[in-house]
Structure 1
Amino acid sequence: MRLQMVWRWYFQIPIYLRLLLTVMFFMFLFGIVIHLVEPDHFPTLFEGLWWAFVTGSTVGYGDYVPVSTTGRIVGILMILAGGGIVTYYMVAVSTGVMKQEKELSKGHIAYRGKNHVIVIGWNERSRQLLKMIKEFVPAEDIVLVDSTLELSPNHNFHFQFIKGDPSLDETLKRANIEEARFVIITSDQSKEEKQADQLSILITVAVRGLHSNVSIITEILTKEQIANAKRAGANTVIRSNDFMSTLFYHEIYREEPVKPFDLILEQLSSQQYKEYKIPNHLIGESFLTCSNEFVIKDELLIGIIRKGEFNLNPPFQMTLEDNDQLITLANLR
């Protein structure tokens, strides 16, 4: 009965472990046998095991060889049985690794890590985001979820690709949504704006339903859908159309167009916005005084949040009040 239980357990373990145990069994078996058959040439069990592993792996150093007829017969059996098993094991492992890599590239392997960032949708915005993360936070664990890609675009970035519809629970669970720290939902701009926003909201609902505490950043194209995205569970809503329209407007109507405007935007990509609760010693002080204090920290004070309203570049003489939130711009490096 005990032997039957061991036999059943043997066939239930993964095939690679099963093959490894089989290889170890034969190596130890032939190592013990050769030690018993030729104790003069293989005085210890270790010498027998060493000969078995070297012979079975077809390395054949020749430092230990059987000299008797019985010992050579054991060697022949070792080469036929043990050598074949070792070769089959190596082929199986190599084939498994290649299959694993292929399935990983196709996005079929579930992610097992924790505290990671999930980026939904492959487009120029997500590509640029991954580039920035790689440059400034190279240790960050990223999972890309997309339904249109056939193979992972992981050429210059380090992330795991999950192929599937991000609005489905099955896809999000393969991305290990329950253990994620952030989810960024980018808008599918190949669709009409209304349809793209509806899809982003649907994905937001699916993510929030599976993880009630994860921080969700949702990109929305139309202003009318912002409230729906927040109701769906988005912590932050990015209005990409409004942002780009504002940039276009300022570039057209500034008195002297800034020629290297693209360089300015590139510099902004290396900056980080920070939010602080106003320190007690700065309550009642002017915005200028507070700005000077942050300059010492190599941070630029650009505005305050007061009663839910953001005031960008307020007058320097503005007096700061209790419960004000300070917004600064700091270098990522």
Structure 2
Amino acid sequence: MKNFKSNTSFLFAFVHWPVITRILCIIFIINISFGVLIHFIEPAEFPRIFDGIWWAVVTTATLGYGDYVPVTVTGRSLAILLIFFGTGFVTTYFVALAASAVATQNAYLEGKVEYKGEEHIIIVGWNERVKESLMQIRGLIQKPVAVVLIDQTLQQNPLHDQNVHYIKGNPIYDQVLLKANVKKASLVVITSDQSKDEVQADMNAVLTLLTVKGLNPDVHTIVEILTSAQVKNARRAGADEIIQTNMLSSYVMINSMVSYGMSNTVLNMLDQLKGSKLKYLDADESYIGTTFEKLSNQLLQDKILLIGIKRREDTMVNPPLFTLIQADDSLLVIKD
């Protein structure tokens, strides 16, 4: 009874193996069996069992080198059976292998395959801003950057040829973010959904942020918010950085209304500051109590341009020259 159960369990497991694995196992069994049989049927022509197995493999692969050939009626009858059974299984194997490769490729393109890497960037949502940002990142960072794109509207990966892994789905659900391996991500960027109105887009962004932080509280998050009313909710949800797109656009428009042509100047300035040139530096202990003017002159000697101070939640750009540097201040500088 135990042997019967053992055999039954093995057959049950075998039936549930992948099709390619099952066919390959059958091919091996057929080749070994026919190779052993031909060795005993014609020991003169096939002096070793390996010679028989070699002949069986060559025959099923339809290569037919002719270095080993059965000469007896029994041997040739066995060869006919091998051709009928073995060649059919080999053909089926290669067809199944090709179909599996195509299916896997389509699964990657259609965003059905989970990402297993680590220290990657997850970008939620696809739009022209995301496309341009990815192009900029690749130009600024020398080493390859692993990017996982999550979107539920795309039919397939828009950047499959640029090392971007696509996950199709709604990021407010745990299983979608887990598919993107959010627990091992280094950065998550949540963009605004252009298919929704501003209020709904912001609510969706905050809900996505809550899901991200619930799965990985330590990951750095950047969230795009369109309405000022949702900024507080984004902060409550744990956003590390909030980009108010509409506010940034309004600032550029105001400057252009006051000074014609200023929008191009602002864009050119931001383009030159892209990457790591504009950054925050922690105030050294030796800087505390120093005036903004004196510290600015001191940093200029190291080719660092001091343009502002971040004090808690407030950022002062070009503050009064007599402003004193305090503990926990961050220095806004331009540095090559």
TM-score > 0.5 by shorter chain:
yes
Select between 84-93 and 241-250 the one with higher mean Cα deviation.
241-250
One-letter amino acid matched to 1:162: I
Conserved 8 A contact 1:106-1:152? yes
Among 281, 296, 302, which residue is 1:288 paired with?
A: 296
The question of 1:117 aligning with 2:117 is answered no
The answer as to whether partners of 1:294 and 1:301 remain within 8 angstroms in 2 is no
Moved more, 228-237 or 149-158: 149-158
- Please point out which of 213, 217, 220 is paired with 1:212: 217
Output the aligned Cα RMSD. 2.9
Change (3 A) 1:9 1:279: same
Q: Is the alpha carbon distance of 1:70 and 1:287 closer, same or farther for their aligned partners in structure 2, counting shifts above 3 Å? A: farther
Q: Secondary structure at the match of 1:50?
A: helix
Between 1:264-273 and 1:253-262, the stretch displaced more is: 253-262
Matched length? 328
TM-score (structure 2 length as normaliser): 0.84
Which shifted more, 72-81 or 119-128? Answer: 72-81
CA deviation digits over 1:277-329, x for unaligned, max 9? Answer: 3345555663235524643xxx6554333344323345677664543323444
1:114 partner SS: coil
Aligned 8 A contact 1:282 1:290 in 2: no
CA distance in 1, matches of 2:68, 2:244: 74
Structure 1 equivalent of residue 283 of structure 2:
278
Which of 42, 56, 62 does residue 52 from structure 1 map onto? 56
Q: Deviation of residue 260 (structure 1)? A: 6.2
Shift of 1:182: 1.8
Distance in 2 separating the partners of 1:234 and 1:89: 51
Q: After TM superposition, list the pairs within 5 Å mapping 1:174-193 onto structure 2.
A: 174-193=179-198
How far, CA to CA, are the matches of 1:50 and 1:302 in structure 2? Answer: 77
Greater Cα shift, 134-143 or 228-237: 134-143
For 1:234, which of 235, 239, 252 is the aligned residue?
Answer: 239
Q: Does the 8 Å contact 2:206/2:237 carry over to 1? A: yes
Matched, 1:20 2:9: no
Could you tell me how far apart the structure 2 residues matched to 1:256 and 1:196 are?
31
Check if 1:150 corresponds to 2:155.
Answer: yes
Which residue, 182, 196, 203 being the options, matches 2:201? 196
> Could you tell me how far 1:22 is from its partner in structure 2?
1.9
1:1-333 alignment runs, 5 A limit: 1=3, 2-137=6-141, 139-254=144-259, 257=262, 262-271=267-276, 273-280=278-285, 286-292=294-300, 294-295=302-303, 301-314=306-319, 320-329=325-334
Contact 1:134/1:157, CA 8 A, preserved across alignment: no
Alpha carbons of structure 1 residues 64 and 308: separation in structure 2 relative to 1, 3 Å = same
* CA displacement 1:161-188 (0-9 Å, x = unmatched): 2222222233323323333322111012
Which ranges of structure 1 fall in alignment gaps of 5 or more residues? none
TM-score normalised by the chain length of structure 1:
0.84
CA contact (8 A) 1:172 1:207 kept: yes
Q: 1:317 to 1:8 in 2, by over 3 A?
A: same
After TM superposition, give the deviation of residue 256 of structure 1 in Å: 7.5
Q: 1:67 to 1:244 in 2, by over 3 A?
A: same
Judge which range, 90-99 or 170-179, deviates more: 170-179
Q: Which moved more, 1:126-135 or 1:269-278?
A: 269-278
Give distance in 1, aligned partners of 2:316 and 2:222. Answer: 22
Q: What is the CA–CA distance in structure 2 between the aligned matches of 1:283 and 1:67, rounded to whole Å? A: 98
Indicate the SS of the match to 1:249: helix
Please tell me whether the aligned partners of residues 287 and 319 of structure 1 are also in contact (alpha carbons under 8 angstroms).
no
Q: Which amino acid aligns with 1:227?
A: K
Question: Which amino acid in the other structure matches residue 115 of structure 1?
Answer: E
Structure 2 unaligned blocks of 5 or more: none
